[in-house]
């Protein structure tokens, strides 16, 4: 089976180095911009500042052969399978990021704390559904 993903845009962030990027948004991740390809602008209809969204990304600098890691880069932490962690290194490096829309402009979507490095491809955006 072949799967095809077409990026809808890319992350614009002050984070440029994967090694220095925070692992989670609450670890001082900066605000960022989701720059969308203009052909997807209409897909933002109904999205508003204050909305919580999930951004799916392709972690393009990940190592896809990695199957086990020491969580949170702690060398003496027990070796753990990547499916039991949030490691960016995994067979299919799909990132999952919950964030909040701050504003929507011609540039794209300005979002709160996002732990992605600049240039990370965006695969999809979904709303957070609250019960």
Task: Report the pLDDT averaged over residues 30-53.
Answer: 96
> What span, in angstroms and rounded, lies between the C-alpha atoms of 129 and 106?
26
**Residue 58 domain flag:** yes
Report percent pLDDT > 70 for the chain.
94
Residue 76 lies in a domain: yes
Question: How high is the pLDDT of residue 25?
Answer: 65
Report if residue 1 sits inside a domain. no
What pLDDT shows up at residue 131?
67
CB atoms within 10 A of CB 97: 22
For the domain that residue 106 is a member of, what is the CATH number?
Answer: 2.40.30.70
Quote the CA–CA distance of 119 and 73 in Å, as a whole number.
23
Number of domains the chain contains: 1
Per residue in 72-113, pLDDT (tens digit) is 778 889 999 999 988 888 899 999 999 999 999 988 999 999
Q: Is 54 helix (H, G, I), strand (E, B) or coil?
A: strand
Query: Has residue 74 been placed in a domain?
Result: yes
For residue 20 the two structure tokens come to 């220095």
Within a domain: 131: no
Domain membership of residue 105 as a residue range: 9-126
The answer as to whether 2 is a domain residue is no
pLDDT at residue 118 greater than cutoff 70: yes
Q: 4 lies in a domain?
A: no
- Look at residue 72 in the predicted model and tell me its pLDDT: 77
110 in any annotated domain: yes
């Amino acid at each position: 089976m072949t799967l095809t993903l077409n990026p809808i845009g890319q992350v614009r962030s002050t984070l440029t180095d994967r090694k220095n990027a925070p692992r989670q948004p609450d670890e001082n991740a900066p605000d960022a911009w989701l720059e969308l390809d203009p052909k997807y602008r209409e897909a933002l209809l109904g999205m508003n500042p204050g909305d919580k969204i999930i951004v799916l990304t392709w972690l393009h600098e990940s190592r896809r052969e990695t199957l086990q890691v020491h969580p949170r880069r702690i060398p003496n932490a027990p070796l753990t399978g990547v499916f039991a962690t949030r490691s960016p290194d995994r067979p299919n490096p799909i990132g999952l990021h919950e964030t909040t829309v701050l504003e929507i402009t011609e540039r794209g979507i300005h979002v709160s704390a996002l732990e992605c490095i600049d240039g990370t491809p965006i695969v999809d955006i979904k709303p957070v559904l609250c019960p």
